[in-house]
Amino acid sequence: GQARLGLAISRKVSPRAVVRNRLKRLIREAFRQRRARLAALDFVVVGRPGMASLSADELRAALYKHWEELSRRSCARS
């Protein structure tokens, strides 16, 4: 199998749908770019207040860091 992505970006992240949709697009694109390097896991990104204030590069860097760590932990267990 391959890595899969789930998103939970609520109104607590931003009351504006435009902002929430932008975050979801950025997260999906970052995942698409990294998918081949990730372990075959199901990743769920849960939005947190303050996430909307990050730049695209900051968000991408944070996601990459977390996804790589989770993939590394998963491979260590196998």
* The pLDDT of residue 75: 85
CB 2 within 8 A of CB 35: yes
Parent domain of 26: 4-77
Which residues sit opposite 7 in a β-bridge? 45
What's the whole-model pTM score?
0.92
CB 41 within 8 A of CB 71: yes
Nearest to 67 by CA among 24, 22, 30: 30
CATH no. for residue 52? 3.30.230.10
Mean pLDDT, range 24-49, rounded to an integer: 96
Instruction: Quick: pLDDT tens for 35-46.
Output: 999 999 999 999
CB 9 within 8 A of CB 23: yes
Give the total number of structural domains in the chain: 1
Residues 61, 1: Cα–Cα separation, whole Å: 25
